[in-house]
Chain A
Amino acid sequence: MRHIISVLMENEPGALSRVVGLFSQRNYNIDSLTVAPTEDQSLSRLTVTTSGDDARIEQITKHLNKIIDVVKLVDLTEGAHIERELMLIKVKAAGAQRAEVKRSVDIFRGQIVDVTSNVFTIQLTGTGDKLDAFITALGDNVVLEVARSGVSGISRGEKTLAL
């Protein structure tokens, strides 16, 4: 099963490599990874999507917790949560195609953030599934380049991952 684990860790050199290294060292897989500092500059928040049965996910969270730089973590998929991924996508848009692409962007509530005579660059946020669906909707031979951020997430309601 797919899990989204958010980790608060010390914003220090080497911390990220310890987390990523753990996954390769113990043969856990990483489907996506995002990391950036939080409002507290001493902390980074890392979100990793991984998969495995309950026993494996339990081992992953336990081993993450053992890393000295890891301050706190939560498996967001254990409760109600919001997940988002940002995609920047460059597509062919010339002639009649331009209107067609624009319609798809509107349907998916994306934004065209850069335009040339032949190319649109589109920004789209949503779950991974939505981003996949958008790429499928564009059809073949349209997509020139895709940059996806990986999943970030936060739990619903009053629960927080903070110190």
Chain B
Amino acid sequence: MDQLSGGEMLIRALHDEGVDIVFGYPGGAVLHIYDAIFNQDKVEHILVRHEQAATHAADGYARSTGKPGVVLVTSGPGATNAVTGIATAYMDSIPMIVISGQVESRMIGTDGFQETDMVGISRPIVKHSFMVQEVKDIPHIIKKAFHIATTGRPGPVVIDIPKDATDPKQKEKYEYPKDLKLRSYAVPDKGHTGQIKKAVDALLLAKRPMIYSGGGAIQDNASEQLINFTQKLGFPITNTLMGLGAYPASNNQFLGMLGMHGTYEANMAMHHCDVLLCVGARFDDRVTNSDTSKFCPDATILHIDIDPASISKTVTADVPIVGAVAAVLEEMNDQIDKSDKEVDKQALKVWWDQIEKWREKDSLKVRPSDNGIIMPQEVVKAVFEITEGDAYVSSDVGQHQMFAAQYYGFDKPRRWINSGGLGTMGFGFPAAMGVQFAFPEAVSVCITGEGSFLMNQQEFATCMQYQLPIKIICLNNQALGMVKQWQDMQYGGRYSHSTYAESLPDFSKLAEAYGHVGIKIEKSDELYPKLEEAFALKDKLVFVDVQVDPNEHVYPMAVKGGAMKDMFLSKTERT
């Protein structure tokens, strides 16, 4: 059994846990740990340029691989800079381990240099947290932290380590625990068979069924089960923003995304359905449109979720099923096969005829532009075509995010990397780095806006250091587009602090200043050739600054306080 210091134990335990990459930034309280990193080659450390980017990169890594992302930051400002990224991961249930340095134990509580109460600050945005008290506890804490972060409803776990616990002079026996007992933490696996039967019975009796699946289907790698289930029944399906890719967008049963900027057909089908099966989603206000009393008025609601607290939180479930999505869907598939009842094919045909009529509305039709002005939607469509729909696409937050979600048809899970719950601007670029580290050969695209991009632009330097060939497609409308859209629609067009055209940098030159490639696109006839040129530069980071129509809005858009059927379809048309 090896004698290791706390710092060495930490890195060894990460390796024993299967971690090969850590995103971080050094500082005083973690110098012992960084020295331990220097002296080994099993765990690779990626030096970012801001701790927030470390968390988002780890998050992008986690979302694209399904493995936990690992972050290492120092105490004080290092830890507080990580907070936005931890909250982002928490809201979207992303497995993440954040190791933060802390001042020496004897200094805690004395307002020491770079001291902050990280366990306290992060408490509302973590699944759990640990403060290391003794060196010998480190292997157990790491084991517990990974178990908690990755099982059940995943989430971030913070481990705060006082500097003295990593002191190279203090060595202890190291053994990585094989088993783990946590008497206060049990993970639901299979759903309750009786509840599943009730749900299956309701589905087989449905005249106007609808499936609404979310991030839980992605987290639990339940795509295959979801596809089997949906196609076996022939029911229409919609995905939430977090759930895109769990069901292939190119399949005819897919009605597009639902919710605030969902398609007309998805939202209409939701509103009019008589049985709604929610698969690993949480009736978020961006889906239900905040007034839940108007939500799916005729529907019997069946809700599968691994987290009991998500059930009947905002919308009361008629048939709750607590369990892992994949296992529950599998059992549903079995029960349907064995059932003597059948889907009401005639009613389903009538329902599909209705849905097809809604579909004919073509709510994602792009308005033709004038004078060669580029429509933002056209850019996403072009990126989709050029990448053959096979890229990993991260995004930031705002109009570009919605355009990416609406127009890049995701056929595979874990390809769409975005901050859905917290809505974190500045997420996309570092998340794309995490994806590129996980899949060096894949195309990692960040569809962003100039506002979001400016929030973490410093990562240009990280991308140069590690030669990450990310393609950044910036839908540059010279304004905080979504804010401006709301100001247009609800504040009489008073653009309070949402425009800054005169002060924007020349993004191509900015990219070039870091040694990357910058391309500017201003006219619609340049769009395809220049995008193709960008994607052909396989080993370079390319920043594509696309000047798009500054006046475009995202549609459909839910009418505030309405039901799901209440939508604006354009600047002049509403349902």
Interface of A toward B, CB cutoff 8 Å: 9-10, 13-14, 17-18, 21, 25, 55, 58-59, 62-63, 65-66, 68-72, 163
Contact = CB atoms under 8 A, between A and B. Distances in A.
Given A59-B309, A63-B309, A163 B131 contact: no
Best-buried of B120, B129, B184 by chain A (most CB within 10 Å)? B184
Q: Which 7 A-B pairs have the closest CB atoms?
A: A62-B309, A71-B184, A68-B128, A25-B124, A62-B308, A63-B309, A21-B123
B185 to A, nearest CB: 5
B131 A14 contact: yes
A86 to B, nearest CB: 29
A156 to B, nearest CB: 26
A13 B131 contact: yes
Interface in B152-211: 182-185
Given A25-B124, A68-B148, A10 B184 contact: yes
Contacts of B471: none
A58 B312 contact: yes
Contacts of A59: 309, 313
B227 interface: no
Given A21-B124, A55-B312, 4 more contacts: A14-B129, A18-B123, A62-B309, A69-B184
B119 interface: yes
A68 B184 contact: yes
Interface string B295-323: 00000000000011100110010000000
Contacts of A10: 184
Contacts of B516: none
A71 B128 CA distance: 14
B285 to A, nearest CB: 15
Contacts of B123: 14, 17-18, 21
B183 A71 contact: yes
Give the interface centre of A9, A21, A62 by most chain B CB atoms within 10 Å: A62
Contacts, number: 38
Nearest to A60: B309
Interface in B93-108: none
A68 B152 CA distance: 12
Contacts of B484: none
B127 interface: yes
A68 B182 contact: yes
Interface residues of B, number: 19
A10 B309 CA distance: 21
Find the residue from A13, A18, A72, A163 having the highest chain B CB count within 10 A: A18
Nearest to B310: A62
Contacts of B316: 55
B119 A14 contact: yes
A47 B127 CA distance: 23
Nearest to A10: B184
Contacts of A13: 131
Nearest to A21: B123
A68 B312 contact: no
Contact of A9 (B182, B184, B308, B309): B184
A70 B309 contact: no
Given A14-B119, A71-B183, A66 B131 contact: no
Contacts of B185: 68
A163 B183 contact: yes
Nearest to B313: A59
A25 B87 CA distance: 14
A46 to B, nearest CB: 13
A45 to B, nearest CB: 14
B444 to A, nearest CB: 34
Contacts of B309: 59, 62-63, 65-66
A74 B506 CA distance: 61
23 contacts: A9-B184, A13-B131, A14-B119, A14-B129, A14-B131, A17-B120, A17-B123, A21-B123, A21-B124, A55-B316, A62-B308, A62-B309, A63-B309, A65-B308, A66-B307, A66-B309, A68-B148, A68-B182, A68-B185, A70-B184, A71-B183, A71-B184, A163-B183
A57 to B, nearest CB: 12
Contacts of B307: 66
A147 B131 CA distance: 33
Nearest to B316: A55
Contacts of B124: 21, 25
A59 B308 CA distance: 9
A99 to B, nearest CB: 51
A70 B312 CA distance: 21
Contacts of B184: 9-10, 68-72
B103 to A, nearest CB: 17
B574 to A, nearest CB: 33
A18 B313 CA distance: 20
